[in-house]
Amino acid sequence: MEITVPHPWPGTPAEAEAIQNELRGRVEASGSVAPRTVAGLDVSYAGDGGGARTRVAAAAVVLDAATLDVVEESVAVGMSDFPYVPGLFAFRELPTLVEALRGLSATPGLLVCDGYGLAHPRRFGLACHVGIITGLPTIGIAKTAFVGAHEPPGPARGDQAPLLLDGVEVGRVLRTQDGVKPVFVSVGHRVGLDEACRLALALAPRYRLPETTRRADRLSRDRLAAA
């Protein structure tokens, strides 16, 4: 998979914020997609992941959208040099994630990030950044809230509640299984929010987290342990 990153990797938080502010206007927050394949992206960190220079493993796992069987896997190991700064977490992961994506032989129809899209202080989280870099439809499905306020969704699978930031809906709190903790879905690029929630449910038929995240998390952890 060919990827051209439209900016140099930043060395400081100020440079990183400038990149986010420059690129966020390119996000397309609408659209529908019927992908034949879906790639889950995840990154694992050595130790507690909080150091200034940390070994990371990034995984891209491509699933058949209908069966959720694994079609292809790619993993890259690298060093994360960017400091841990809330709101700039993407810059700790993107360089190695890009290498994992470049290792895929075919281009997926949808990318699913373990993180945020528009649910971000500058409306440009990891899922938005990955979407802009690749040009592909992208959504973010996070385990916990980062920004915004919300009411709890109903207890049943498919129940959802708006995630609001400054009075604007930036995501959705979605119950993927009856009686389990919800996940936090937000638009990354070229997919509307209703569509993102539909896709999240389709990718999570049995467990709280989508199969894309579960498979990519396992692969990245296993590769890091073997490094």
Q: How far apart are CA 219 and CA 43, in angstroms?
A: 9
* 106 domain residue, yes or no: yes
pLDDT in tens, 143-198: 999 999 999 999 999 999 999 999 999 999 999 999 999 999 999 999 999 999 99
Q: Which of 47, 4, 1, 34 is nearest to 190 (CA)?
A: 34
Tokens of 49: 């992941």
Asked if residue 50 has pLDDT above 90, the reply is no
Q: Predicted confidence band at 25 (pLDDT cuts at 50, 70, 90)? A: very high
HEC-encoded secondary structure of the chain:
CCCCCCCCCCCCHHHHHHHHHHHHHHCCCCCCCCCCEEEEEEEEECCCCCCCCEEEEEEEEEEECCCCCEEEEEEEEEEECCCCCCCCCHHHHHHHHHHHHHCCCCCCCEEEECCCCCCCCCCCCHHHHHHHHHCCCEEEEECCCCCCECCCCCCCCCCEEEEEECCEEEEEEECCCCCCCCEEEEEEECCCHHHHHHHHHHCCCCCCCCHHHHHHHHHHHHHHHHC
* 108 domain residue, yes or no: yes
Q: What is the pLDDT of residue 218?
A: 96
Asked if residue 15 has pLDDT above 90, the reply is yes
CATH number at residue 81: 3.30.2170.10
Q: What's this model's pTM, rounded to 2 decimal places? A: 0.95
* 8 domain residue, yes or no: no
Contact between residue 177 and residue 157 where contact means Cβ atoms under 8 Å apart: yes
* 54 domain residue, yes or no: yes
* 29 domain residue, yes or no: no
* 176 domain residue, yes or no: yes
Q: Which residues are annotated as a binding site?
A: 42, 114
Asked if residue 48 has pLDDT above 60, the reply is no
* Overall average pLDDT of the 49-67 stretch: 87
Q: What is the pLDDT of residue 139?
A: 98
Enclosing domain of residue 79: 15-22+37-226
Residue partners of 57: CB distance under 8 A and separation at least 6: 43, 44, 75, 76, 77, 96, 220, 221, 223, 224, 227
Q: Predicted confidence band at 46 (pLDDT cuts at 50, 70, 90)? A: confident
Q: Which residues are annotated as a binding site for Mg(2+)?
A: 42, 114
pLDDT in tens, 78-124: 998 898 899 999 999 999 999 999 999 999 999 999 999 999 999 99
Q: What is the pLDDT of residue 52?
A: 65
* 127 domain residue, yes or no: yes
Q: What is the pLDDT of residue 111?
A: 98
Count up the domains in the chain and report the number.
1
pLDDT in tens, 118-137: 999 999 999 999 999 999 99
* 31 domain residue, yes or no: no
Q: Predicted confidence band at 225 (pLDDT cuts at 50, 70, 90)? A: confident
